[in-house]
Amino acid sequence: MNMHKTIQRRLTRFQRDSRGTSAIEFALIAPMLLAALVGLTDVSNIAFGSSNMQTAVRAGIHYAMAGGTDASIAQSQANSAWTRKPAGGVVTAQRVCKCAFVTWDCDTFCPDLARPEMYMTVTATGSLGGNFYSMNQTSTETVRVR
């Protein structure tokens, strides 16, 4: 019976002792906090990269809205505006002319002798993200030039 009381006293003392509780709680929560931090970093990298991509597309479209009709210049404007461009990031610009919603040569008149409507489309594509999560994203804008 004496042995039983000794074990019971030690168990009671062990239950009352809370000296390592904080360390144990931290050890249980730390991996979740670290995972949340890493995930938040990747999400913020995606948001920042998406914003930069849209800024680049808008720069190319701004050139067209100012009257520019050369697709290579619009592409160059967009490329120079894309800060922190990802390694596989690509910008394209395309000029398309239409007569009555049909693709037409930009240098010839429509069958009704009107000038064809000219549109400029600027597209940026790239892989955005961080170390653990990334995604391919595309941003496109089209504006009527004339």
pTM above 0.85, yes or no: no
Q: Are 53 and 126 in contact (CB under 8 A)?
A: yes
In angstroms, the CA 99 to CA 119 distance is 11
Task: Answer for the pair 126, 133: CB distance below 8 angstroms, yes or no.
Answer: no
Rounded average pLDDT over 28-32: 92
pLDDT at 1: 58
Closest by CA position to 124, among listed 95, 81, 70: 81
pLDDT of 69-118, one tens digit each?
999 999 999 999 999 999 899 999 999 999 988 999 999 999 999 999 99
pLDDT-above-70 percentage for the chain: 97
**CA atoms of 51 and 99, how far apart (whole Å):** 34
* Whole-number Cα distances in Å, 11 to 2, 15, 19, 61: 14, 6, 15, 74
pLDDT score, position 53? 97
pLDDT band with cut points at 50, 70 and 90 for residue 128:
very high
Asked whether residue 3 carries a pLDDT value surpassing 90, the answer given is: no
pLDDT at 33 over 70: yes
How many Cβ atoms sit within 10 Å of the Cβ of residue 143?
A: 16
- Identify which has the larger pLDDT, 7 or 55: 55
